[in-house]
A and B are shown apart, each in its own frame.
Chain A
Amino acid sequence: MSKAGDWRNYKRVLLPPVKDLHRLDAYEANEGYAALREVVTTDKWTPTSVTDEVKKSGLKGRGGAGFPTGLKWSFMPPVDPEIPRYLCCNGDESEPGTFKDRQLLEYNPHLVFEGMLIASYAMSIKTAYLYIRGEFADWITHMEAELEKAYQKGYVGKNIMGSDFSCDIVIHKGAGAYICGEESSLMNSLEGKRAYPRIKPPFPAQKGVWGYPTTINNVETLACAPLIIRNGGEWYAGIGAPNHAGPVLYGISGHVNRPGVYEYPTGMLITDLVNEVAGGMRGGKKLKALVPGGSSTPVLRADMIDGVTMDADSLREAGSMMGTSGMLIMDEDTDMVSFLRRITHFYHHESCGQCTPCREGTGWLENIVTRIDEGEGNLRDLDLLIDLCSQMEGRTVCALADAAAWPVRYTIDRFRDEFEAKCKPSLVASGVDMATA
């Protein structure tokens, strides 16, 4: 059952249908910066009450891990005027299959700025960095122009709208590295270092950028903050799936007739998204498989998606994850071995090389899957791959190793016959213990 209610009549809030909403004048004419004004200039709000409202909304991070946002904000230590604190908005968006943040940054940048400022107010932060991947150079230029306008109008900077709250926004341009999306790597990148992830703990709220308390949130997550202030946490909690509320940007790509970024509530039936929203399968083909939330989330076979909705609970039950809600749809002709081969190449290319299981493991995954794809693999290679995955998962500084291992583990698990068909017949049957074989 869909948890998205009457989604056909859903009114968009993250990307409402307003001409030129990306420009400050249009944004102002449509309740723009009203939430921020209310927060910083009236007695109705205090930092704590803003955080509480976000907690009440049930907003969960849209960057991949789905961590409750209000709770994350409350991890910041008590204010000490001597110690600076920072906010980082994560616009690195490099997870293959994910392209929603770019559209939000293009079409509603002020909502992101306003969200960053409200979050900064809630955590008493005076500097907020917006980290955008370097490839989005054109969009960075557009956003810098809009940010300048917001500065001139006094929405950003010193004594915002005459209040005693001051906060700067700095746009940081990346330069091409998937790993910068990982929060601790992003912090090193901001500090002008090689973007190696850091060991946790200490968590960013204790020791973040330049060693100071820091909170990191995804672009789409922060864009929800002004909406929550405008309409209330309860309103937000009432949208979509009960345990994973809110509007969400679904990035649908692959073998569908109408790919693109769509805004709908969470808890949409996957079948509705594929067949109705995205216009059905290209060329009338049959659905074979789909990846629900970016390349690292486990692939689902067509027979596994009946009744499954796009929210954390339902996807977990089905054997996958919400991730970044970047959905890749594959039709019946897709070769799952070649598909997996390119994914393993991606992770091998993007491993930062700090941890041996990841640096070496991603290379081996790519080598072995390539061998199978070229018809040179043995059946026992499949067990070797699964074994490799087990040795990578949970043994590294950051979650990239897990993200690299999951697609291999689950694609093989769910399409084993296809992998076996590409292997050479082996003397050693699949499933035999490697050590004694």
Chain B
Amino acid sequence: MADFIKHPIVDLPDRKPDPVVPADQLHFSDEEKKEIQTWISRYPTADGAVMRALWLAQEKFSFLPPEVIQLVADEVGIPYSNAYGVATFYTQYFKEKKGKYVLDVCTCFSCQLCGGFDMLHYLEEKLDVHKGETTQDGVFTVQEAECLGACGSAPMLQITNGTYVHNLTREKIDALVDALREDKMPAFTSVTLPQDEDEMGGNRRTDVSSTETYQAGPVSETIR
């Protein structure tokens, strides 16, 4: 073998690191297998179901190490390389272990103008981490996110690919961190349309426990 292949100048990524999920846990339950099969039946070729299968796997194993991607590939019936390609393309699939709660703070565009960076920095200081890092106790990972499609209720954050927290303030962050430390997930919050407030006196949904209105964002300290 040529010398440069044995001794590459750049370190190549370890494609087969030691598995982190114990072999006896590395399988889907019958129910999960059935769900994946249902998704496969909804596309002309099995490939279409790979994104849902990866979602399912991530919910189960909390992230996607190579052995989990292999499991998904086998279950869907596609080559490992395809599943790996998909898993590494999208930001919401976690390729490495994250904290129990991932806080994605939007600092993009509207959120930037309404104090998104202030919220991110506050959270970084509060939890003593930099963005992208996980707290020592493994509870929180703080990340900077691109626009999450809730620009009117800026600044905002998302908890582990799920619930949105709108109209962020420092007090709200304090309360959120305390609640999550006790594993209390905030409820889904429906944001009321301003026209509904005027014409219907509030939120139109009667089936949600938590509602909020759009609020003018605070004055940003970083961009004025």
Instruction: Please give the residue numbers on chain A whose beta carbons come within 8 Å of chain B beta carbons, in ascending order.
Output: 12, 15, 17-23, 84, 93-99, 101-103, 106-107, 133-138, 168, 170, 172-178, 189-195, 210, 251-263, 282-283, 295, 326, 328, 330, 333-335, 338-339, 342-343, 346, 349-350
| Chain A, residue nearest B55 (CB) | A173
Q: Is B146's CB within 8 Å of the partner chain A? A: yes
CA distance A12 to B193 in the complex (A): 12
Q: Is there contact, CB below 8 Å, between A194 and B86?
A: yes
- Residues on B with beta carbons closer than 8 Å to the beta carbon of A102: 149-150
**Bound CA–CA A103/B200 (angstroms):** 16
Distance between Cα atoms of A276 and B141 in the complex (Å): 41
Contact of A342 among B44, B85, B107 (CB under 8 A): B107
A18 touches B204 (CB 8 A): yes
**B195 — which chain A residues lie within 8 A by C-beta?**
12, 15, 17, 262-263
- Tell me the smallest distance from the CB of B149 to a CB of chain A, in Å: 5
Whether B51 contacts A97 by the Cβ 8 Å rule is no
CB distance from B45 to the nearest CB of A (A): 7
Between A and B, how many residue pairs show CB distances below 8 Å?
201
Closest chain A CB from B145 CB (angstroms): 8
- Which of chain A's residues have a CB closer than 8 A to the CB of B219? 283, 333
- Residues of B close to A339: CB separation below 8 A: 112-113, 223
Residue B209 is within 8 A (CB to CB) of chain A in the complex: no
Q: What CA separation (Å) do A176 and B117 show in the bound complex?
A: 21
User: What is the distance, in angstroms, from B36's C-beta to the closest C-beta of chain A?
Assistant: 12
Q: Is the CB of A178 within 8 A of B109?
A: no
Q: Is the CB of B109 within 8 A of A328?
A: yes
What's the tally of chain B residues with a CB closer than 8 Å to chain A? Answer: 65
**Chain B residues at the A interface, C-beta cutoff of 8 Å:** 42-52, 54-55, 76, 78, 82, 85-86, 89-93, 107-110, 112-114, 146-154, 158, 161-164, 188, 190-191, 193-196, 199-200, 204-207, 214-217, 219, 222-224
- Starting from the known contacts A136-B149, A189-B51, A254-B217, 9 additional A-B residue pairs (CB-CB under 8 Å) come to A17-B195, A23-B207, A102-B149, A255-B114, A259-B216, A260-B152, A260-B194, A326-B151, A333-B224
4 closest residue pairs by CB, A with B = A192-B47, A96-B109, A175-B90, A176-B92
Residues of B within 8 A of A134 (CB): 55, 90, 92, 161
Q: How far is the CB of A186 from chain B (nearest CB, A)?
A: 12
CB distance from A309 to the nearest CB of B (A): 20
Which B residues are in CB contact (< 8 Å) with A259? 151-154, 214-217
CA distance A89 to B91 in the complex (A): 22
CA distance A71 to B55 in the complex (A): 37
Q: List 24 A-B contacts (CB under 8 A).
A: A12-B195, A17-B195, A17-B204, A96-B110, A97-B151, A99-B151, A107-B205, A134-B161, A136-B149, A175-B93, A192-B45, A192-B49, A192-B78, A195-B90, A252-B152, A253-B154, A254-B110, A255-B114, A257-B216, A259-B152, A259-B217, A261-B193, A326-B151, A335-B224
Q: Which residue of A19, A173, A255, A256 contacts B204 across the interface (Cβ within 8 Å)? A: A19
B193 touches A15 (CB 8 A): yes
- In the complex, are the beta carbons of A94 and B146 less than 8 A apart? yes
Q: Are A256 and B109 in contact (CB under 8 A)?
A: no
Q: Is there contact, CB below 8 Å, between A295 and B109?
A: yes
Q: Are A172 and B51 in contact (CB under 8 A)?
A: yes
B54 CB → nearest A CB, Å: 7
Would you call B152 and A261 a contact (CB within 8 A)? Answer: yes
Given known A-B contacts A138-B162, A339-B223, A193 and B152 have beta carbons under 8 A apart: no
Contacting residue for B92 out of A135, A262, A263, A295, CB 8 A: A135
